[in-house]
Amino acid sequence: MLPKWKQRKYILVLLFWVLSLYDVNEREVWSMALNDN
Nearest-10 Cα torsion for 31, 35, 9, 4: -160
pTM above 0.75, yes or no: no
CA distance 8 to 25: 23
Question: pLDDT tens for residues 12-37?
Answer: 888 888 877 766 666 677 777 888 75
| pLDDT of amino acid 2 | 67
Question: How far is CA 28 from its chain centroid?
Answer: 11
pLDDT at 5 over 60: yes
Query: Residue 33's pLDDT is what?
Result: 80
Q: Is the pLDDT of residue 7 over 80?
A: yes
